[in-house]
Amino acid sequence: MALKIVEGTAPAGLPYETLSDYAKFVNLHAAGRFGADFPESTYEGYDILVEADGTSHFGQ
């Protein structure tokens, strides 16, 4: 949708869309900085992009 808008389509002219299958990612470093204290089971099914120590997995 963002690409359509960048190419000139008015946002009001775009139909509503939902995702049925999407990637789920978590940034443990950011979660820790915001005080999130969730059990490990909360992150089941998520790919970790940034570890709690700040190690990034972007682009891998």
**Model confidence over 15-54: pLDDT tens digits?**
988 877 788 899 999 999 999 888 989 889 999 999 999 9
Confidence of residue 60 (pLDDT cuts 50, 70, 90): low
Q: Indicate whether 7 belongs to any domain.
A: no
The parent domain of residue 58 ranges over 18-60
Q: Indicate whether 6 belongs to any domain.
A: no
Confidence of residue 58 (pLDDT cuts 50, 70, 90): confident
Q: Indicate whether 9 belongs to any domain.
A: no
Q: Indicate whether 55 belongs to any domain.
A: yes
Q: How far apart are CA 39 and CA 44, in angstroms?
A: 10
Q: For the chain, how many structural domains are there in total?
A: 1
